[in-house]
Copies of this chain bind each other. A is one copy, B any other.
Amino acid sequence: MTHDLLMCGAVVTPSGILDDGWVAVTGEHISAVGQGPRPDAKRVIDAGTDWVIPGIVDGQTHATSYRGLPGFAETSQSALAGGITTMVDMPYDNPDPLNTMARLEAKVAAVEAHSHCDVALYGTVAPGQGTDEMAPLAKAGVCAFKLSLIESHPVRFPRIPADEIMSILSASVPTGLPVGLHNEDQEIVQAMIARHREAGQITPEFHEPSRPEVAELTATAQFMELGAATGAHVHIVHLSSSRGFEIVAEHAARGVRATGELCVHYLHFDAARDVDRLGARMKVSPPIRSGAIEGLWEACEAGRVTFISSDHSSWPIDNKLVPSIFDAGAGIPGLETLGPSFYTDAAARYGAREAVMRLAETLCRAPADFFGIAPRKGAIVPGADADLAVLKRGPAPFDASTTRDGLNWSPYDGETFDVSVSTTVRRGEIAWDGTEILSRAGSGAFIARH
């Protein structure tokens, strides 16, 4: 038989790297994976010794923060340019949080109208809303719920009181879905910010101490106990230091369904080293910390990091360049740097082959599994969706002005990565060729949790 597409290269499968390997695509699926002699295909892309990896599954994207639902258009193109074929979109976003069936339908419609990549969707519950919509949302395919213990915006990103979190966790149990938490203690953070403001300490170096590690840890510990009491799957969506991952691991060891997620920028930037250079450009919450990177790698090695995501937030740079760091928006663009940043840092630590194996595990397979969209997504195996990317090896300067996200700034601007994304295939379609987006708006699909 003749396949539709044959992608050749150093193919990164869950069982190892196939040098001189190939992936055969028929329709939207991977029909075969092989090594050596190649079958016939209508089209062949030969990546040579470059890495052919599964399409990345970014487990944490804020696609519509800036432009609302039409924002899927630009965000999803940026995803493809970063080798990401599936974004897991967060529910706290403009115009409204995804907390009802109506809003789910609206977001799915926006995906189908605007998105170039596939999208899985988090749901949430608004303060005071009750839990009645959770089961329908789960049935309709949302892949997780998200909550916060700190208010970022009263409607879009509200704090949920502890008693309501308890109810929500209890209601999540029959759905089987994880419940993610933005883990910062509001009282501590607000008080610290007020103190710094009062002291006139409003420059970027005060962002880290204004949100101290303990604010994360108390929120994390509280959520773990709520998970233990309810039997829910409690997930921390970002831990900025190794101690947080230890807390999660300790609870998991005593039987709590507890997991923790890392974002790639915590592995790359260091507050003490980089804040003078980057200022508000590296403002995320929880903040990037000083001296935390080594501990985070060790948490990865100890198996305590469930997966790694971008936490891409589509804020324009104007949102950042304000007099006080406390008025600057939190969040950074990250779709086009997620894979290259992880790969480059991992290669420095482990060498190239282990780096790309870890990437395929931590950025592809693990999040797909976590969000219930594996084995369809996340691995190069026969039968899976034909979501593939080529990581072209060689020094790749990163120029934020060329990004596809409509934002065109990044804390990574000017850095040189070890790889660039030269091809992205989404369900069999060549959607990115290293220069241009080739797919059409709406070619992305909503991926329901199974």
Indicate whether A222 reaches chain B with its CB closer than 8 angstroms. Answer: yes
State whether A36 and B40 are in contact (beta carbons under 8 Å apart), knowing that A15-B375, A161-B187 are contacts in the complex: no
- A residues in contact (CB < 8 Å) with B: 1, 13-16, 18, 21-22, 24, 26, 29-40, 161-164, 166, 185, 187-188, 190-192, 212-214, 217-218, 221-222, 224-226, 228-230, 247, 250, 375, 379, 381-383
Q: Smallest distance from the beta carbon of A249 to chain B beta carbons, Å?
A: 12
29 A-B contact pairs sorted by A residue (CB < 8 Å): A1-B40, A13-B381, A15-B379, A22-B32, A24-B32, A24-B34, A26-B37, A31-B35, A31-B37, A32-B34, A32-B35, A33-B382, A34-B382, A36-B383, A161-B187, A161-B191, A162-B185, A162-B187, A163-B188, A185-B222, A213-B229, A214-B226, A214-B230, A217-B228, A218-B221, A218-B222, A218-B226, A221-B222, A221-B225
| CA–CA, A39 and B37, complex, Å | 12
CB nearest to A24 among chain B residues: B34
| CA–CA, A322 and B230, complex, Å | 33
Measured between beta carbons, the chain B residues less than 8 angstroms from A379 are 15
The majority secondary structure among interface residues of chain A is: mixed
Measured between beta carbons, the chain B residues less than 8 angstroms from A228 are 214, 217
Measured between beta carbons, the chain B residues less than 8 angstroms from A222 are 185, 218, 221-222
State whether A166 and B229 are in contact (beta carbons under 8 Å apart), knowing that A33-B33, A382-B18 are contacts in the complex: no
Question: Which of B14, B192, B229, B250 is within 8 Å of A163, CB to CB?
Answer: B192
CB nearest to A365 among chain B residues: B15
Measured between beta carbons, the chain B residues less than 8 angstroms from A26 are 36-37
Q: Smallest distance from the beta carbon of A350 to chain B beta carbons, Å?
A: 19
Question: Which of B35, B161, B188 is within 8 Å of A382, CB to CB?
Answer: B35
| CA–CA, A13 and B383, complex, Å | 12
Question: Which of B16, B32, B190, B213 is within 8 Å of A381, CB to CB?
Answer: B16
- Given A26-B37, A163-B191, A221-B224, 6 new contacts (CB under 8 A): A34-B382, A35-B382, A162-B187, A163-B192, A166-B188, A214-B226
State whether A15 and B217 are in contact (beta carbons under 8 Å apart), knowing that A1-B40, A34-B24 are contacts in the complex: no
